[in-house]
Amino acid sequence: MSFCVAIDGPAAAGKGTIARAVADHFGFAHMDTGLLYRATGVKTFQGLSPLEAAQNLRAEDLKRNDLRTGDAGQAASRVAAEPEVRAALVDFQQAFARREGGAVLDGRDIGTVICPDAEVKLFVTATDEVRAQRRHAELRGKGERVTLEQVLEDLRERDARDSARATAPLAAAKDAVLIDTSEMSIDEAVAQVVALIEARRRG
């Protein structure tokens, strides 16, 4: 039996961490759909057009060790704004979402476009300042030399681009549950989501 959990939200809000923890808790498969766009964006560095990069995406491309860099994130946001790229990746995501045993997908248009019929839809957010602090710590931990001010500016630029794009903009589904992690620990956020999913599964 399939059961889909769609988790959307801006960068560094905690959606990926929550998605992985929830998938582990329930034994669901997990897909960070942002990696599809990060991998596509990184492939454009090799001279491919965004559409060519999406069409030639392979499973091993999602395992690259440079997908979590700031450059990859900006490239992902740029290619994700192209309707042809998004269309090329939709079928792959939808098939994953309806696999037997349950699935958790996190991204920016899961509840609105990829899985509008998901059993559970969440929109995870946090203040710009909190998100910037989290991303700054993550990047510094990987050895990237970047200031907090630069990270905040990059996040706001990416939010504006993701929210304003014509195709599948970043937005909460009308029936999504809002989870604001600004003042929550990850354990508190995960516990809240687990309880919600358990209630939905009981029906």
Residue 168 annotated as part of some ligand binding site: no
Both structure tokens of 93 = 């995501």
User: How far is CA 8 from its chain centroid?
Assistant: 6
Residue 21 annotated as part of some ligand binding site: no
Q: Are 123 and 111 in contact (CB under 8 A)?
A: yes
Radius of gyration of the chain (CA): 16
Residue 166 annotated as part of some ligand binding site: no
Question: What would the DSSP string read from start to end of 49-78?
Answer: -HHHHHHT--GGGGG-TTTTSHHHHHHHHH
Residue 143 annotated as part of some ligand binding site: no
Beta bridge partners of 121: 6
Residue 13 annotated as part of some ligand binding site: yes
Residue 16 annotated as part of some ligand binding site: yes
Q: Are 132 and 155 in contact (CB under 8 A)?
A: yes
Residue 23 annotated as part of some ligand binding site: no
How far apart (Å, rounded) are the C-alpha atoms in residues 30 and 188?
20
Residue 73 annotated as part of some ligand binding site: no
Beta bridge partners of 160: none
How far apart (Å, rounded) are the C-alpha atoms in residues 184 and 181?
5
Residue 14 annotated as part of some ligand binding site: yes
The annotated binding site for ATP is made up of 9-17
The annotated binding site is made up of 9-17
